[in-house]
A and B are shown apart, each in its own frame.
Chain A
Amino acid sequence: MSHGSTRSTPLHDVHVALGARLTDFAGWRMPLKYSSELAEHEAVRTTAGLFDLSHMGEIRVRGPQAGAALDHALVGTLSAIATGRAKYSLLCTENGGIIDDLVTYRLADDEFLVIANASNAAVVLAELVARAQDFDATVTDETEQTALIAVQGPASQGVIHELVDTDAERERVTALRYYACTPARLAGLEVLLARTGYTGEDGFEVYVAAADAASLWQALQTRVEAVGGRPAGLACRDTLRLEAGMPLYGNELSLDTDPYAAGLGRVVKLDKEFVGRDALARVAQEPPARVLTGLTGEGRRAARAGNHVLDSEGATVGIITSGALSPTLGRPVAIAHVDREVAAAGGTLQVDVRGTLLPFSVTPYPFYKRS
């Protein structure tokens, strides 16, 4: 944003002290990187990276009908998830366009925490408030009071173990499943500890009161660095999520994309009523004209978002939505929105990389999967 309304996270001073290169992202002043984004990427793949994600929107939905309200608001059946579990879902318009993709944690029978992308947090909040109106549920924006710190990478569990007090708690951390959450005490601070993330690695996302953010970060940073990891910024987050084949709102997902075209038809539950259901039921009847697919190239020259995808005759059959040189694989990877007919794995397409046609193979993503 250019009108001076840029917000800082509770960890802003920590980032400055660490010498972070800061960038404006979705109205927030955020660390882009601390040293080298390639080193930060590698740390997440091999040991651990520490991220400040306090720009994400935290929206609490509470009340006897909180689950029913979310079932009405989102494409998934949130009321069916167990307390202590998380679910990935989508918020769609009446027409089936995607307003945001979000993770929702169930904290109690009558209490949910919805995590929205920073760029969409305001519209998600407004939609949830409107869609919960006829339900006995309240919707509260807690973004300002909440910090979110993520530890991602194979050494993450060990890092968290170091910050809990007892063996029993360590066992509880070990037993915490992927896409599950639990209240916990980390470094003496009350947190919500979730085994979720956006990097393709094992890892934890820790929700903590803004006032406690700096002391939690210090405790985590010490442990992360002790295992050879480091603070990590938004730059490496993008290459990590791309390797892991995770869609990014604004790239793979948008108001102009429906869940089926985005390859997310599995999260749409047409057996219940929700905003956008009728439109999506119609879309579900026929295969989408264009689908998202993975592409990998040879060499080192990356396809980038916006580059055109062509078939062997030179006809445009799609567009790149995300692309980079994969730091882990050492070759270009990309996600593209292409005509369904050319999306078969193993096929070869061309990408117009700033005037040069380069061959890319259709490769299902994720490009990287942790072993």
Chain B
Amino acid sequence: MPNPEHLLYTAEHEWVQIAPGAELPTEPVRVGLTTFALDALGDVVYVDLPEVGSTVTAGDACGEVESTKSVSDLYSPVTGTVAEVNQAIVDDPALIAADPYDNGWLFTVTPEATAKLLTSQEYETLIA
């Protein structure tokens, strides 16, 4: 699946719901995993997400994604306060891979700052 152009990406394979070139939104934005990450991980069986109300820091680990075989850190693309976690994927992690750029989102953050983020084109160059 191509990585949607209306999102920005981290080098650690997360996407964040910020349009390229746009100003930092004032509303919470969604964070998710790219198909590249999900393909490398294998079937996700457990996710550990930051708590609602906690502060996450751009570029820092803020949770874990576990597949049958391995565990990967989850990095926050932005600094800000966690507004919501996606309970559906916590209950059934298989939903992440089923719809990674939409219903498979992980959590939302009210952003204050961002890490260095990539456009879909830059991200695709990175993983090519």
- Give residues in A with beta carbon < 8 Å to B: 21, 32-33, 36-38, 41, 235-236, 238-239, 300-302, 304, 324-325, 327, 354
Contacts and interface: CB of A to CB of B under 8 A. Distances in A.
13 contacts: A36-B43, A38-B94, A238-B69, A239-B68, A300-B46, A300-B66, A301-B46, A301-B66, A302-B46, A302-B66, A325-B45, A325-B46, A327-B45
Interface string B49-68: 00000000000000010101
Interface string B62-101: 0010101101000000000000000000000010000000
A327 B93 CA distance: 13
B20 interface: no
Contact of A300 (B42, B43, B45, B71): B45
B66 A235 contact: no
Interface string B97-113: 00000000000000000
Contact of A235 (B42, B48, B64): B42
B68 A325 contact: yes
A325 B42 contact: no
Contacts of A324: 68-69
A329 to B, nearest CB: 12
A38 B43 contact: yes
B48 A301 contact: yes
Nearest to A36: B43
A304 B71 contact: yes
A37 B43 CA distance: 7
A325 B68 CA distance: 6
A32 B43 CA distance: 12
A238 B64 CA distance: 21
Contact of B42 (A33, A302, A304, A354): A33
A302 B47 CA distance: 11
Contacts of A327: 45, 68
User: Which of B66, B69, B94 has the most chain A CB within a 10 Å cutoff?
Assistant: B69
Contacts of A354: 64, 71
A34 to B, nearest CB: 12
A330 to B, nearest CB: 9
Contacts of A32: 42
The interface centre, meaning the residue of B66, B68, B69 with most chain A CB atoms within 10 A of its CB, is: B68
Contacts of B68: 37-38, 41, 235-236, 238-239, 324-325, 327
B71 to A, nearest CB: 7
Interface in B23-47: 39, 42-43, 45-46
- A-B pairs, top 3 by smallest CB distance, nearest first, are A300-B46, A38-B43, A325-B45
